[in-house]
Amino acid sequence: MSLQGKTALVTGGSRGIGAAIAKRLAADGAAVAITYSGNKAAADATVSAIKSAGGTAFAFQADAADPASQRAGVEQAAAALGAIDILVHNAGVAEFSAVADDTDETFDRQFGVNVKGLHVGTRAALPHLSDGGRIILIGSVSGELAFPATAVYSATKAAVAALARGWAKDLASRNILVNTVQPGPINTDMNPADGEFAQQMIGFIPLGRYGKVEEIAGAVSFLAGPDASYITGTTLNVDGGAAA
Ligand code: NDP
């Protein structure tokens, strides 16, 4: 188990990609804490699944868009885990509209969760982050590709990759490695493979299918593990070739 003895905090670990990441890091041997915004039942289910498989897991409610709540969630996770070796910023929201229909509220909500939440969370985690630790941000290929009615979401994800590049340089002296995983369309509540725009999206994917949450979790596991010791400040697209 490549992460035996390590600890990990995964934001938005109650459902979808975050739940798969939490389960994978636990299966790799890490003790895991997750945060969630409102879905306690889903968070409890993720924790139960990890514990049933013999792992260690904790869940804390923390709204990534609310700095005080986000800081409190990080502090609770650090107290439960003792220290944080791996920080995965996965929590995110998407609200799609064309520019004429965008509002101040949809702009602020997406930047609040997807960008500010990461900034607040990383600053809160830094005193607890082990030297030699990892920070992995979940961006999106949308940060590189333009689709209709996704400009604000795409802008948040471009910002995510930019934060990772900057933090990689800021934290290199502590050997903390910072990278972004950029998923393509992945079958979750946010983007169901049988949803309204699914067939249109599949048209952009050379592999001709949606990805599975486990395929993102596998990339995060690699970046969190010993084989990624010389990788920092980069983006890894896990997108079926969509951005190729
Ligand atoms: P889901 O909507 O399926 O799950 C979102 C998760 O984030 C839930 O655990 C949710 O908690 C949590 N969350 C949402 N808002 C907040 C908040 N304010 N504070 C804390 N936690 C929050 O999304 P996905 O699993 O699909 O997406 C995960 C990440 O992957 C996001 O960053 C997304 O942008 C990115 N991504 C997804 C793609 C896809 O096709 N699915 C493609 C590219 C990137 P709760 O259960 O409590 O609501």
**Which residues lie across from 186 on neighbouring strands?**
211
**CA of 163: how far to CAs of 45, 66, 114, 136, in Å?**
31, 19, 11, 11
Q: Give CA–CA dist 6/242, Å, rounded.
A: 33
213 Cα–ligand 1 center, Å: 11
Looking at residue 229, what is its pLDDT? 98
93 Cα–ligand 1 center, Å: 6
Q: How many CB atoms lie within 10 A of CB 72?
A: 17
Looking at residue 147, what is its pLDDT? 86
130 Cα–ligand 1 center, Å: 26
Average pLDDT over residues 179-199: 95
Active site residue 153: yes
242 Cα–ligand 1 center, Å: 20
Starting at the edge strand that comes first in sequence, how are the strands of the sheet with 235-238 ordered?
Answer: 57-61, 31-36, 7-10, 84-89, 129-138, 177-183, 235-238
Q: Residue 141 above 90 pLDDT?
A: yes
Looking at residue 104, what is its pLDDT? 98
**CA of 138: how far to CAs of 1, 31, 59, in Å?**
23, 20, 19
ipTM strictly over 0.85?
yes
Q: What are the structure tokens assigned to 199, written together?
A: 């067939």
Ligand 1 atom closest to Cα of 139?
44
Looking at residue 63, what is its pLDDT? 98
Average pLDDT over residues 159-163: 98
Q: Which residue has the tokens 């520019």?
A: 99
Average pLDDT over residues 10-16: 98
Banded pLDDT at 112 (limits 50, 70, 90):
very high
Q: What are the structure tokens assigned to 9, written together?
A: 């905090």
Ligand 1 atom closest to Cα of 190?
2
Q: What are the structure tokens assigned to 125, written together?
A: 């985690």
Options 36, 153, 210, 230, the catalytic residue: 153
Looking at residue 121, what is its pLDDT? 98
Banded pLDDT at 117 (limits 50, 70, 90):
very high
What integer best gives the mean pLDDT of the chain?
97
* Residue with CA at minimum distance from ligand 1 atom 33: 92
Ordered by where they begin, the domains of the chain are 7-237 (3.40.50.720)
Q: Residue 197 above 90 pLDDT?
A: no
Ligand 1 atom closest to Cα of 34?
9
Q: Residue 1 above 90 pLDDT?
A: no
**CA of 158: how far to CAs of 49, 147, 164, in Å?**
33, 14, 10
Which residues line ligand 1 at a C-beta cut-off of 6 Å?
Answer: 11-12, 14-18, 35-39, 42, 62-65, 90-94, 113, 138, 140, 183, 185-186, 188-191
Q: Residue 19 above 90 pLDDT?
A: yes
pTM: predicted TM-score of the whole model, two decimal places: 0.99
Phi, psi of 98 (to 5 degrees): -75, 160
